[in-house]
Structure 1
Amino acid sequence: MTSPHPADPDSAGPVGPAEATQAAEAVYAPFAHLTARNAALYRQVMRVFLAAKERFAVHLRPEDVHAALPPEHRPAGPDAVAKALDSLVGWGNLRADPDTSRVTAVEDFYRRRFIYQLTQAGEAAEHALSAYDEALGRRGALQAVALHDIVTHLRTLLVLAAEEEPDAAKAHLVLSALAHRFEALAENARAFMGSLQRTIDLHGVEVEVFLAYKDRLIQYLERFIQDLITLGGRIALLIGELEDQGRVGLLLRLTAAREAADAAPDEADTAEIQAYERWAGRWVGLAAWFVSAEGRESQARLLRGRALGAVPQLLSVVRQLNERRAGRSDRSADFRTLARWFAEAPDDAARHRLWRAAFGLYPARHLTVDADTLAERGARAVAPSTPWAEAAPLRISPQLRRTGSYERRGKPRRVQDRSEQRRQLAELAAKQAEEIAAARARLATNGTTRLSALGELDPVAFGLFLRLLGDVLATWRPGTTTTVATSNDGTMEIRLTVLDDDTTAEIRTPGGVFRGPDHTVEITDLTMGIPAGEAR
């Protein structure tokens, strides 16, 4: 009677911890070369095989691998490559087959000649490592172009939803393109903000490179923030229109049915349900990214706030770098200098004096210690473990004993006149308050008007207008035609209402022309009637 095969799960006995560990090691053995001593050589050898497969070359000989290695990773002779190939065969990354193509005599059969090719496990391991390297090195980008593409795809969906019988192929194509662009936008934004924080923290960034890069980075952030304010509101409106039509579910079901048509026979019953749930989750994620809900801000608004907060952080880093380059010392430099002084001190007495001078460890002010006391202590040292009751008494100032306070006599310090600095700060504050008040007065509409009627705005008024517009668009909900928002400081209120004439508003500024869909707007200055000193 033959014994059951150990690889047969039906005939094998219970698997213990040792067997489970061995099975896991066998499954992940193709990754073992990453922690080996010659890991760099193994990685380059595997890349040679991966590149050869892309050129439809199946087998490689050791000399072929040796010639294809980069010069900086190429060993002196092919023997080291042959040893690396044998190790990779042992880990399961490669497969070795006898090389009989160059046999010309009987003795050649006894020589060790092999050709090598990738195994399925080795190829899978290389693809996983390539994906890991790509994700690790990705910096990400704020894709304003993706916002435009999302607007285009949503408008196409509106057209399809308006048809009596939407085309399933077109719906699938548009939704797939929309999901692809949205996923790329969200992932790249996350990666970019992570790399931006690393740049702000100056991890691995040269000072000169950072100073040259920060201007372009700030302009890049400001441009994306403006696009996110305008296009994010437009995307929220389009999502609201689609949901108002009540046809989003139909488009998602058509797309899910078209995807499930290619499912395997054993998965056909549940494929359409799973596909619909997957597409419904994607649509909910898209809506949550651009549309705020009760108790939850949209991801677009959170991203805008994060990008706005990165600008002052970058400027703070630049200020710190300029201070360092100007020669101003920081705490770490001070401690290093102090440590050098301690090392150069001639004796312990000098080190104690330096310690007291550096850290302010002076004697108690109410205790009188004169030269005679110090001489007596030098002649008869008192151990630190001596109790106070057994130690020699210390003389206390009679004035402290009588009045409870002790003041040193001497000429008082001159009071520095800072009236000029206070006057300059007051002038600067008054000028800024006047500019902000003028901007509020310029934007106040005294009733309902069109955005196109606002005319030309100066930079201060235009910046205030953009903040108000961003706040009101962030409160927009699907199906609403009018919304109201208040500025963060509570000084302005804006009411925005949709128009049906599809007109475009243009607002001219010294930096260019701002364009967007025209709306009726009512901007109210809430500080009217409040004394100027109380308005903020």
Structure 2
Amino acid sequence: MKSSPKFGERSSASPPQPFAYLQAPNAALYGRVLDVFAEARERFIVHLRPEDVAAELRSKVDGTPVPVEAVGGALDQLVDWGNLRADPDTGRVTSVEDFHRARFLYQLTRHGQAALQAVAVYDEALGRRGQLQSVALADIAEQLAALLALAQEKDPDPAKAHLALLALADRFGSLADNAQAFMASLRRTIDFQDGDEEAFLAYKDRLVEYIERFIADLANRGAQIADLLTRLNAAGVDRLLLAAAQREAGDAVPEAGADGQEAERARLAASQAALTAWENRWRGLTDWFLSRSSRQPSQAKLLRGAAVSAITSLVNTVATLNERRGGRSDRSADFRALARFFAQAPDDDAAHRLWRAAFALTPARHLTVDAETEAAWQDADLPGTTPWAQAPPLEISPRLRETGSYERRGRPTRVADRSAARQMLAEQVEREAAQTAAARARLATGGPVLLSDLAGADGLDPHAFRLFLAVLGDALSARVPGENESSAITGDGTMEVRLKLVDPDTVVRIPTADGVLSGPEHVIEIIDLVSESSTGGSGPISLRSLTPRVTADAAGRASR
């Protein structure tokens, strides 16, 4: 025959319901009681008595006393839901009567603690606006440098590797979560989902400056972090991940009743699970800063693009608000307001005056003022409130008074002949197009060649060198970190360049009329798509449309 549970114990037949207090009639009191237990746990206090909970509640609610009976009822209900556990309080027993009296110590259960953490995370996610953490980028780079130093050691310390990986995972997780929350809150701000236009206009300049500063830090630190990740993968980061996983598995609690072999299998399983988790974290970190291919860019690159788009959206939003505040109104609203004015007019004469004023039926005079009249008005220096009758007279032509129109005397202005200027512009366009076609023909390799053999003995002329910098910048910017080959088509679609790194230690020099370009040896192939197109391609273009897009690597190696 089943025995009913004792007072202070929850029935094992009923499953725990740690979130039931959120929808209970007295949810506010239950929440405050659980907050008292959560704060006590942070002070490393595990057990609380009902009078302790009542005292904490009294100190939190403006000194208003909370009855101990109400607190006791709330504690018993939380025990029934599984949030708390009640243990007999035998520390204050002084007699047999006290022993039989129901006295309990209460503490949070695993279910209650998990429910509190879940509610806290939910509230934090709703209220968090996020931030772009430039300091986190520096911390990540510092931790990666420390890991690289450990990976290069013959026998790295597992404790140092584990602590460095923990710090790296914590900082990276904070960076990713805050960046995601910030971009989401920024989108709500731009779309005015928060409904606060005044606040948006007040801090828009600081917001744009903040985003621009983060974009610059992300570009600089991102390149450093990408280089450290590449070197760590080459140095063997798997050893550090395995050491951290084994160190975590060594702290696992042994199962009850397990023999030596079962304990060893459990330890190996825990080590494998920890290793899988660390490999997954490392893959996430790598994908955040390293692009897998041109179709799978890194998350840092996507974040930079989203931040740049956010700046553009902010500017457009500010322009929209300025137009909205610039006096533009709805025509239908104006007519409705005018109809109310007519309805409120005291008599017909007032309505007629309103009609003439609203629709500008009063005759207007378009006058031509000569130099003498304008000088007289400037010398008078009259305020804007001066009546017309007291202002200096304005002399007008009798012809204007009689006919309502005025014609200036003298010959009409001659139409300028711009045929010579147009001819000069056409010749300049043809000349630049010929220079571009010649530079394109000069750079076309007809097959793969070494970068050192591209210039030849005579070097490159300024036009060919400028075009070469443009196509080289396109090829270098299209290269994925960790790969040695890249290809790109210029923005105008006239040339295709293919680049392959030969030896990063061999430095070649290309002499030009403007200076010397130095860099590592590559195999390069430049294809003139215009000459190979059967339809004639897109035709020649002007050199002014070829903006040299030299990457940081190429610009740093160029010298005059």
Do the two structures share a fold, i.e. TM-score over 0.5? yes
Equivalent residue for 1:531?
Answer: 542
Give runs of aligned pairs for residues 140-159 of structure 1, distance below 5 A: 140-159=130-149
Q: 1:474 to 1:31 in 2, by over 3 A?
A: farther
Q: 1:65 to 1:314 in 2, by over 3 A?
A: same
Determine if the alignment matches structure 1 residue 328 to structure 2 residue 317.
no
Distance 1:302 1:117 in 2: 50
Determine if the alignment matches structure 1 residue 478 to structure 2 residue 482.
yes
- Amino acid aligned to 1:257: Q
Determine if the alignment matches structure 1 residue 207 to structure 2 residue 207.
no
Distance 1:274 1:520 in 2: 44
Identity of aligned residues (%): 44
Q: Is the 8 A contact 2:475 2:488 kept in 1?
A: yes
- Amino acid aligned to 1:255: A
Determine if the alignment matches structure 1 residue 173 to structure 2 residue 184.
no
Identify the structure with bigger relative contact order (alpha carbons < 8 Å, sequence gap 6+): 1
Gaps of 5+ in 1: 8-21, 346-429, 431-436, 438-445, 450-464, 502-517
For residue 50 of structure 2, give the secondary structure of its aligned residue in structure 1.
coil
Give runs of aligned pairs for residues 351-362 of structure 1, distance below 5 A: none
Q: 1:474 to 1:197 in 2, by over 3 A?
A: farther
Deviations 1:349-389 (A, max 9, x none): xxxxxxxxxxxxxxxxxxxxxxxxxxxxxxxxxxxxxxxxx
Deviations 1:490-522 (A, max 9, x none): 799998989779xxxxxxxxxxxxxxxx97799
Determine if the alignment matches structure 1 residue 224 to structure 2 residue 214.
yes
Deviations 1:55-87 (A, max 9, x none): 426213274254133239x58866655654554
Equivalent residue for 2:278?
Answer: 279
Distance 1:113 1:6 in 2: 17
Q: 1:151 to 1:53 in 2, by over 3 A?
A: closer
Equivalent residue for 1:456?
Answer: none
Equivalent residue for 1:34?
Answer: 22
Q: 1:159 to 1:483 in 2, by over 3 A?
A: farther
Give runs of aligned pairs for residues 308-319 of structure 1, distance below 5 A: 308-319=308-319
For residue 118 of structure 1, give the secondary structure of its aligned residue in structure 2.
strand
Q: 1:471 to 1:212 in 2, by over 3 A?
A: farther
For residue 139 of structure 1, give the secondary structure of its aligned residue in structure 2.
coil
Equivalent residue for 2:59?
Answer: 68
Q: Is the 8 A contact 2:147 2:161 kept in 1?
A: yes
Q: 1:105 to 1:297 in 2, by over 3 A?
A: closer
For residue 106 of structure 2, give the secondary structure of its aligned residue in structure 1.
strand
Distance 1:187 1:78 in 2: 43
Q: Which structure has the bigger radius of gyration?
A: 2
Distance 1:151 1:136 in 2: 30
Q: 1:243 to 1:51 in 2, by over 3 A?
A: closer
Distance 1:310 1:230 in 2: 20
Q: 1:90 to 1:274 in 2, by over 3 A?
A: closer
Q: 1:492 to 1:123 in 2, by over 3 A?
A: same
User: Once the 2 structures are TM-superposed, how far is the Cα of residue 127 of structure 1 from its aligned partner?
Assistant: 2.6
Q: Is the 8 A contact 1:171 1:255 kept in 2?
A: yes
Give runs of aligned pairs for residues 56-135 of structure 1, distance below 5 A: 56=45, 58-61=48-51, 63-71=54-62, 84-85=74-75, 87-94=77-84, 117-120=106-109, 121-135=111-125
For residue 255 of structure 1, give the secondary structure of its aligned residue in structure 2.
helix
Q: 1:499 to 1:319 in 2, by over 3 A?
A: same
- Amino acid aligned to 2:114: A
Q: How many equivalent pairs are there? A: 381
For residue 480 of structure 2, give the secondary structure of its aligned residue in structure 1.
coil
Distance 1:107 1:165 in 2: 66
Aligned-pair Cα RMSD in Å: 5.1
Distance 2:65 2:218 in 1: 53
Q: Is the 8 A contact 2:49 2:104 kept in 1?
A: yes
User: Once the 2 structures are TM-superposed, how far is the Cα of residue 6 of structure 1 from its aligned partner?
Assistant: 11
Equivalent residue for 2:287?
Answer: 288
Q: Is the 8 A contact 1:233 1:474 kept in 2?
A: no
Give runs of aligned pairs for residues 350-499 of structure 1, distance below 5 A: 472=476, 475-478=479-482, 480=484
Q: 1:40 to 1:309 in 2, by over 3 A?
A: same
Q: Is the 8 A contact 2:486 2:500 kept in 1?
A: yes
For residue 71 of structure 1, give the secondary structure of its aligned residue in structure 2.
coil
Give runs of aligned pairs for residues 505-524 of structure 1, distance below 5 A: none
Q: 1:76 to 1:490 in 2, by over 3 A?
A: farther
User: Once the 2 structures are TM-superposed, how far is the Cα of residue 303 of structure 1 from its aligned partner?
Assistant: 0.8
* Larger mean Cα displacement after TM superposition, 140-149 or 297-306: 140-149
- Amino acid aligned to 1:311: I
User: Once the 2 structures are TM-superposed, how far is the Cα of residue 254 of structure 1 from its aligned partner?
Assistant: 2.7
Equivalent residue for 2:466?
Answer: none
Equivalent residue for 1:365?
Answer: none
Equivalent of residue 35 in structure 2, options 24, 47, 65? 47
Equivalent residue for 2:248?
Answer: 259
- Amino acid aligned to 2:118: A
Deviations 1:231-269 (A, max 9, x none): 222222222223334x23233223322332223336213
Equivalent residue for 2:370?
Answer: none
Equivalent residue for 2:306?
Answer: 306
